[in-house]
Structure formats: C-alpha cells, structure tokens
Amino acid sequence: MKPVKIAATACIALALILVLFTTGCTQPSSPSASTTAPSANGTVGILETAGVGPMPSLLATGQVDGYISWQPVVEAGVESNIGQVAVYSKDLPPVGEWSNHPQNVFVVRKDFYAQNPDFVNDFSALNLAATQYINDHPQESAGIVADWLAGKQNFTYGNVSVSSVTAVNNALPTIEFTNDPSDSWMSSTSDFVQALIGIGTINGFVKNSSDRNAVLYNFQPYQSAAAIIAAKNVTTPAPLQNTVNVGYLMAVDHSALFVAVKDWQYFNDTYGIALKPEDLTKAKPDVADFLVNGQKVATVNLVPANAGPNLMQLAATNSLQMSYVGVPPAISAIDMGTPITIAYPIDNLGSGLVVAKGAPAQDWQSFAAWAKERSDAGKPLVIAAPGKGSIQDVMLRYALQNSGIAITEVKV
C-alpha cells in the first residue's frame, strides 16, 4: 500500500503547486497567434491559461480583450470595474441549447466504488445534504465559500482586488445547485457530447458507443444517497484502510464541499455524516476525517487543482478516487478510457464571458459583431480560457464555431 500513498502524495503536491502558481499575479508575455484560414465572420484568438487566476490581471493590463471563466472570477471582473459580462454561458449559441446546461458533476473511479459502495453512498448523501443547505441558506453559504476561497479577505488577481464576500454573494444566484440526474439534465449532457464531437475533442469510447448512457453514468450512488437523506438513517460502513483523495477546484461551483467541511458539526448533528477538518483553524482544510454516526470511517485528502483536465489526469493514475469536476473534462476522460463514472450532477450554469469595461459587447450578437469588426481592422480579439478541454473552453469554441467565427490558438 505504501507505494500508492507515495504516488498520491506526489500528485497532490503537484496539484497544490499548480493552484498556488495560477491564483497569483503571474502574467504571460505578449501573446502571438497561430495562423488560420480567414473567415467572413472574423477570427478570435483563444489564449489557454493555467487556470483562472491570471485572467482578471490579463484583462486589466490589456493583454486580452476578455475571458471566459467560472465563478467567482466572472463577478470579480465586474466588481473590480475592469470588465462587464458580455454573456453568461446559458445564453451562448446555439440559441436555447444551454439555457440550463450542466456545469459540474461528481465522478468516482469504478474500481473504488466497486470496493467501497457504502462509503461512496454515504459521501454522496453528504453532498446532497450540503446542496440542500446552500439552497436553503444562501447568505450563510456565501460567507463559508468566501472564507474557503480567500479567508474572507479580498480576492486578489495580480493588480486586481475585490471583496470575496461580495463576489461570492453575486455569484451564487448565477448557479443552480442540484444533484438530480433528470431526463432534461441527461439531454443537456448529451448536447455536450455532441459539442465535443463537433469540435473534435472526443474520438474514443463515448463517441463510438452504441449506449453512451451506460458508458457515462452510474446513478446508484445518487439513488442510495437520496434514500439515506429521506430516511435520515445512515449505516456506518467498515473503516477504510487507505486515505481517500478527493479532487476539486477553487470555484463557487464546488460550494457543496466547502459547506460540508466548514459546517461539519451541522451535518454531523442533522444527518449523522460529517467531513470534519483535522485542523479546525484552517480557512481551507486539506485533510478531514469522514465520520458516520460519530465513528471515523476514513481520512480524506482534499486536493485542489487549477482546471478540470488536471483533475482527470490525477484520476487516470488513481491519485484521485473521487472528484468534483466539469462535465466536458469528465466526458473526455471517459472517452479516453479513464475508469471513472459520472455519479450525479453538482450544479448547472455558472460560467460567463467577461470583456473589457466599455467594450461594444452586451450579448453574443454584439460580441460577434465586435469580433468581426476587430478582425476586419487586423486586430482580432484575444479571449482567455482556463485550459483546453475545460467546460468554458469547450463552450466558447462551440459558440464561435456555431457563429462561423474562425479560431486561432494564441501562444505566450
């Protein structure tokens, strides 16, 4: 067992380094774009950044014309007065397709679930309870999330600084927290599969499967968790011998994890399930005890990363057994053969395209017109996206493609 733990620890350290690197003031040098065939509707350059940390600073210094991001970085751009929301992800083209699109899901390695079904079901019950808490107590949740993400201090992105509590409060209403894998949710997830096929991102198991639902999903953890919450009766599983590694992003989307950990006593008293930090003084705990009916069942490492594809790389090497992650990275990982399954949704919506303050873009149509105008003037727009294959990157590329706008890859 020791080699596994050492490998996991190394990957966790790498993930932590990536987060620290990308949430500071790191700025790339002036970008240069690769060439592509011209389009009558113009061209947009996409600059892939390592996570979302550099984005507000890049916009503030004029190195990009905009960025597409998850929350709270969308609201941070607005609150700092450096940017304005051109369009939230729900209004990206094709018209109406993304009106309530999936955003993040909870994924589990298949081998881990097969060996520890009761543990995964109980952990999932905690996720469902935390989601309900967020919906019932948005103000309290905003304070908890701001504490986790910034210690209730300002969000600082290079030379941009805004109130974390204000940004999170404004971000929460743009997200729908839900765990229900409804028919409409599955249909919208299928739209993501088609989008990934359309932009050439997936070419493996998912694309070629005759039964994509069987390849993508196992909703048993959700069904078992829902039954536990309804009955308010949880069975204590056998203690796990190995530490469990759970991945997440420093994003408002993953508030269920932050709320569950920071208000662990409430969930312990109400449901008999808790994720208690080993160090109660930390604003952002990294190790917690998973308790069921007052008994410690497992030690859980909480592993942040800078973008969904990074989480899926860790899952592929079994350095993460469970993870909160965007839908496209999860689909792409399954397509490439990573032995994970989507257990249930975490949230819908919650992304946005931010452009420079005063830019002539108040919706997608005016953004597309601006893109054409800038292309015709020989100065194509440059938009930052958080890593190729992330949910925001996929939605931006698909929207541009749908609008007949050519894409160039901008290098640093």
Are 407 and 212 contacting, i.e. CB atoms less than 8 angstroms apart? Answer: no
Give the tokens for residue 386.
């958080």
Question: In angstroms, rounded to a whole number, what is the distance separating the alpha carbons of residues 326 and 248?
Answer: 10
**Tens of pLDDT along 371-384?**
999 999 999 999 99
- CA–CA–CA angle 80, 388, 253 (5° rounding): 50
Please return the burial class of 32, using the count of CB atoms within 10 Å of its CB with bins 0-12, 13-18 and 19+.
Answer: exposed
- The model's pLDDT over 8-57, given as tens digits with 9 standing for 90+, comes to 444 444 333 333 333 333 333 345 444 445 678 999 999 999 889 999 99
- The average pLDDT across 72-90 equals 96
Partners of 106 in beta bridges: 324, 344
Residue 260, helix vs strand vs coil: helix
Summarised one tens digit per residue, pLDDT across range 156-167 is 888 889 999 999
Residues 181, 187, 192: CA angle, nearest 5 degrees: 105
Q: Residue 401: which pLDDT band, with cuts at 50, 70 and 90?
A: very high
State yes or no: pLDDT of 127 exceeds 80.
yes
- pLDDT of 86 > 50? The answer is yes
How far does CA 384 lie from the centroid of its chain? 16
φ, ψ of residue 72 to 5 degrees: the values are -95, 10
User: Residues near 41 by Cβ (< 8 Å), separated by ≥ 6?
Assistant: 368, 371, 372, 403, 404, 405, 406
Instruction: Please tell me the predicted confidence (pLDDT) of residue 38.
Output: 61
